[in-house]
Amino acid sequence: MTATPPAIKRVLLKLSGEALMGDDAFGINRETISRMADEIAEVVQQGVEVAIVIGGGNIFRGMAGGAAGMDRATADYMGMLATVMNALALADTLNRSGTIARVMSAINIDQVVEPYVRPKALQYLEEGKVVVFAAGTGNPFFTTDTAAALRGAEIGAEIVLKATKVDGVYTADPKKDPSATRYDKLTFDEAISKSLGIMDATAFALCRDQKLPIKVFSIFKPGALKRVAMGEDEGTLVYI
Ligand code: UDP
């Protein structure tokens, strides 16, 4: 704990599967996941309670499976199982580097991981443990963005931290348009009227309904997660 209390007490961090991939074409890159764990540990050390929803796109994406001719629901269950692998890898990395983490799954796989039970998750967070939510919402046809909004609302997170490859929300795609500028903050309604794709529509609507702000920031920028969690000027804030 530091002398200065953190600006935010409890966060829900949404990490995409891609965040674990590093420069690899798929899967989990050891160096990248270790760096990620270090960044998370720094935030925990500041006294912030951290819950994480992890994606699975680095291993399997249901949409692609569906498009390739698989039954979509089956493909989505495979996608959810991919998030369990990522969650186990992240929690293991955190635990080995001294940050206590627990995985809770929305799909029961009793021999592997404990099921999601809200009061238990709240207890872990209060004890300063990192909780990694696996298997998304547990339902096909959803995404882990929606799981992040859902779990964020359920655990009373003050904010959803949406980790992306870019350092915020831009007026246009900065890779295609060099004149694009970054928003420091914008309202949910502004984001909708400008058709800025921040999270998928279901996730976005849930955050908006629950008045749960979203902070979009770059997971690849060293120290950005800590600055965001400490309420410093970083990324783009989407608020009601
Ligand atoms: N998924 C699902 N329901 C959920 C969350 C995820 O069916 O509640 C499946 C879906 O197939 C998705 C895959 O799991 O494509 C991986 O999740 P996501 O694409 O959100 O991961 P990310 O892009 O964040 O790595």
| Cβ(147) – ligand 1 distance below 6 Å | yes
Q: Are 87 and 45 in contact (CB under 8 A)?
A: no
Residue 100 vs residues 22, 141, 164: alpha-carbon distances, Å: 24, 32, 25
pLDDT of residue 174: 86
pLDDT of residue 63: 81
200-226: per-residue pLDDT in tens?
Answer: 999 999 999 999 999 999 999 999 999
Ligand 1 centroid to Cα of residue 91, in Å, is 19
Q: Where are the beta strands (DSSP E) in the chain?
A: 10-15, 49-54, 101-105, 114-115, 130-134, 159-164, 185-187, 214-218, 236-239
Mean pLDDT of 5-10: 85
Q: Which two tokens stand for residue 207?
A: 């955050």
Nearest-atom number in ligand 1 for the CA of 135 is: 5
| pTM of the entire predicted model | 0.96
pLDDT of residue 66: 73
Mean pLDDT of 178-183: 94
153-167: per-residue pLDDT in tens?
Answer: 999 999 999 999 899
| Cβ(140) – ligand 1 distance below 6 Å | yes
pLDDT of residue 64: 84
Question: Is the per-residue pLDDT at 55 higher than 90?
Answer: yes
Mean pLDDT of 37-49: 96
pLDDT of residue 231: 87
Question: Is the per-residue pLDDT at 40 higher than 60?
Answer: yes
Question: Is the per-residue pLDDT at 84 higher than 60?
Answer: yes
Mean pLDDT of 101-116: 98
CA dist., res. 65 & res. 72, Å (int): 7
Mean pLDDT of 42-53: 97
Q: Name beta bridge partners: 101.
A: 130
pLDDT of residue 30: 96
| Cβ(76) – ligand 1 distance below 6 Å | yes
pLDDT of residue 7: 80
Phi-psi region of 110 (alpha: psi -120 to 50; beta: other; left: phi over 0): alpha
CA dist., res. 94 & res. 102, Å (int): 9
| Cβ(104) – ligand 1 distance below 6 Å | no
Question: Is the per-residue pLDDT at 10 higher than 60?
Answer: yes
Residue of 49, 235, 51 whose CA lies nearest to 148: 51
What's the Rg (C-alpha) of the chain?
17
Residue identifier of the C-alpha nearest atom 14 of ligand 1 = 79
Question: Is the per-residue pLDDT at 3 higher than 60?
Answer: no
Question: Is the per-residue pLDDT at 178 higher than 60?
Answer: yes
Per DSSP, the residues of 130-147 read EEEEESTTSSTT--HHHH
pLDDT of residue 68: 86
| Cβ(105) – ligand 1 distance below 6 Å | no
Q: Which two tokens stand for residue 127?
A: 């004890």
Residue of 138, 184, 148 whose CA lies nearest to 52: 148
Q: Are 113 and 88 in contact (CB under 8 A)?
A: yes
CA dist., res. 22 & res. 167, Å (int): 17
pLDDT of residue 99: 98
**Which residues contact residue 128 at a Cβ distance below 8 angstroms, ignoring those fewer than 6 apart?**
44, 49, 100
Share above pLDDT 70 across residues of the chain, in percent, rounded to a whole number: 98
CA dist., res. 206 & res. 45, Å (int): 30
